[in-house]
Amino acid sequence: MRITDIEVIGLRVPSEGRRQEWGEDAVVVRVHTDEDFIGIGESDTSPEVLRAVVEAPYSHSSCVGLKETLLGKDPLQIDDRWQEMYASSTYLGRRGAAIHAISAIDIALWDIAGQARGVPVCELLGPRAHADLPAYGTFIPSNDPMASAATALSLMEQGMAGAKIGGAAFGMNLTDDLVHLEAMRSAVGLDFQLMVDLVGRWGDPDRAGAALDLYMDIGLEWAEEPVPADDFAGYAKLSRRSGTKITGGEALETRFDFEAFMELARPDIVQPDITRCGGITEMIRIADLAAERQIRLVPHGFSTGILNAATAHFLVSRPEAHLVEMSTSNSPLFTNLVQNPIRADKGRIAPPETVGLGVVLDEDVMDNYRIF
């Protein structure tokens, strides 16, 4: 089998003057083959930048667009294709957008491999370790603490394992944040996990430590990205404190970043995003490094149903997996882009049982939001 084309499809929800939120754009890749298998992948990144990485013409052997690198090659030799993409895009990236683009294509190659073998992707990854896994719900708050409380309560009533709040103004003002968290805790009681995502906004470990002290009575399960992603020393300082678990990693790529993060930042949980860290292939390597160190891995996930399917296939193959992130976005790219999205059933998630990744894209939704 040979790769004949790589199609990049940019999608964006019109924002009508307001700043768009997470989940309101998406970039899908379709890898075409000469045997009529078409693999689907995505990356939670800038659609325009990803397109440039895929379509860039040859500059020299360390600076080649990914399409030119892969055309005519066998899509089933995924490790070889991954290494070729990484080597030929060295000067385009090594991290960031180049790895995001490799991630999207890698997911599509696993989709093709599953289709070609006639099995779901999870069956290619080893013996299935879980029928399904518990999920927690992530939401972006409004300014109304009672709305946050209602969202957390609704997630609990759906059987989810917990609720995570982050984005919008959360993390900017400790007093306002505390009002949200107190309202959420009083709505859900003591037995439901609450997490906070700071997107690095606490800035430095001393301010973050003071915030964690202020929130101690809330009983947070974890504080995510409390300091900027590169501040490994700041992470380590926070991780040494007892109490709230410290998590991060959605902004990191490749096993190399994650190995350094685990060694230097000492997080309690790592959160690679399968559409950014290097795809399913690299996620396996990162998970092996985490398992060796007995660090838990809970993938980041806040994009479309393509990400959710890839993450679910990966996680059910890992004995140590224990939790899945589930977006609660209202973006049509989350709710409608995939015709058969994974939904939590009594708070639990399972991958599609059909061949490959198992996602069917809604062509009308693609046409509606397509920017290229």
Site residues, Mg ion (CB under 5 A): 197, 224
Q: In whole angstroms, what is the distance from residue 87 CA to residue 40 CA?
A: 23
Q: At what angle do helices 305-316 and 97-117 cross, to 10 degrees?
A: 70
Q: In whole angstroms, what is the distance from residue 320 CA to residue 69 CA?
A: 35
Q: Is the CB of 65 or the CB of 200 nearer to Mg ion?
A: 200
CB of 100 to Mg ion, least distance (A): 16
Q: Is the CB of 98 or the CB of 269 nearer to Mg ion?
A: 269
Residue of 21, 26, 69 whose CA lies nearest to 50 = 26
CB atoms within 10 A of CB 10: 17
CB of 268 to Mg ion, least distance (A): 15
Q: Is the CB of 25 or the CB of 197 nearer to Mg ion?
A: 197
CB of 8 to Mg ion, least distance (A): 25
| Residue of minimal Cβ distance to Mg ion | 197
- The contacts of residue 3 (CB under 8 Å, 6+ apart) are 31, 32, 33, 70, 71, 72, 73, 74, 75
Q: Buried b vs exposed e over 98-112: b needs ≥16 C-beta within 10 Å?
A: bbbbbbbbbbbbbbb
- The contacts of residue 317 (CB under 8 Å, 6+ apart) are 122, 125, 126, 127, 128, 129
CB of 217 to Mg ion, least distance (A): 23
Residue of 119, 135, 138, 118 whose CA lies nearest to 127 = 119
Q: In whole angstroms, what is the distance from residue 98 CA to residue 106 CA?
A: 12
Q: Is the CB of 67 or the CB of 201 nearer to Mg ion?
A: 201
Q: Buried b vs exposed e over 218-242: b needs ≥16 C-beta within 10 Å?
A: bebbbbbbbbbbebbebbbbbbeee
CB atoms within 10 A of CB 142: 13
Q: Is the CB of 132 or the CB of 197 nearer to Mg ion?
A: 197
CB of 139 to Mg ion, least distance (A): 12
Q: Is the CB of 82 or the CB of 170 nearer to Mg ion?
A: 170
Looking at residue 21, the DSSP 8-state letter turns out to be P
CB of 199 to Mg ion, least distance (A): 6
Q: Is the CB of 84 or the CB of 96 nearer to Mg ion?
A: 96
CB of 269 to Mg ion, least distance (A): 11
Is 347 within 8 Å of 335 (Cβ atoms)?
no
Is 271 within 8 Å of 248 (Cβ atoms)?
yes
Q: Is the CB of 247 or the CB of 317 nearer to Mg ion?
A: 247
CB of 138 to Mg ion, least distance (A): 8
